[in-house]
Structure 1
């Protein structure tokens, strides 16, 4: 009888270890789309991606574009206006991409959160990376902001950069 009690206690103790939540490395990106005082305002198309030290695309994180068809056609027609992203990655993608593409967003702060369990970061090897945010707007301008960081982080990291016209502050937070 004691033998059974000991093995049950050991089983319960070990099962408690299995329920401890696994911590995942996390990448949080905050992008500000500024409110512009212009006669004809259009929401910007925005591409957010990671580049490795070789400046090649390591992961596409998010692409915001007009997804609803209009009299001018479908919004994919204007994706090449995101010139850097289009040349490096966009033209090879078949959009929409599940978990990556979404509608354009209004002026304001926009937060995106990724973990090392999600497809965009799951296969990302350790190293130095640059978060790249590119925005292009009809009857507007084009802007590119870059923020370097290390993945995965051994301690919490915060980095930021600021655009001057089409983008505001871009912040990157990395947690181990």
Structure 2
């Protein structure tokens, strides 16, 4: 929505949409929060773009929280190993069960993409959900098997 000023209008950047990631509540005695990464890949090839990565930002001592990021195997191979962390606007702390909304990057070129969301949990499983999206477009959904619940993308 543009802002009105005395001398005219100033355009504001259009929102590209949002991603909603659901982490299910698992019936475990000792639950550890998963590491989760989400990235976009253009259909037909191109550089992957990390949208978010949640990991233990507060690990101390000789174990930086990034040590276990390679457990997010697909993301690590595609984009993680070359990424300098923490990355401003991308990195975040691990999350507990619940639904979380992340903004799609506002500067996505129109086209077809694959959104990948991967989760790995210590003493737990691993899940990878892929959701094809079109920008601009509608809503697309995917569902994980254990570590991830519903993944919804609303691309504007």
Please say whether Structure 1 and Structure 2 have the same fold, judged by a TM-score greater than 0.5. yes
Runs of 4+ in structure 1 deviating by more than 6 angstroms, as ranges, are none
Larger % of strand: which?
2
Tell me if structure 2 keeps the 8 A contact 1:49–1:57.
no
Distance verdict in 2 for CA 1:84–1:67, change over 3 Å: same
Return the TM-score normalized by structure 1: 0.79
- Offset, 1:162: 0.8
CA deviation string 1:64-123 (max 9, x = no partner): 00011246712111000000000011000111101101100110000112352xxxxx2x
Higher Cα Rg, which structure: 1
TM-score (norm 2): 0.88
Among residues 78, 81, 89, which one is paired with 2:71 in the alignment?
Answer: 81
After the TM superposition, which residues 1-176 of structure 1 pair with which residues of structure 2 at under 5 Å, given as runs? 15-16=7-8, 18-19=9-10, 21-22=11-12, 24-54=14-44, 56-70=46-60, 73-116=63-106, 122=107, 124-151=108-135, 153=136, 156-175=137-156
- Name the CA distance, whole Å, in 1 between partners of 2:22 and 2:99: 4
Structure 1 stretches of 5 or more lacking a match? 1-13, 117-121
Distance 1:71 1:135 in 2: 25
Distance 1:41 1:57 in 2: 34
Shift of the 75–56 alpha-carbon distance from structure 1 to 2, 3 Å rule, reads farther
Question: How big is the alpha-carbon RMSD for the aligned residues of Structure 1 and Structure 2?
Answer: 1.9
Structure showing the higher helix proportion among its residues = 1
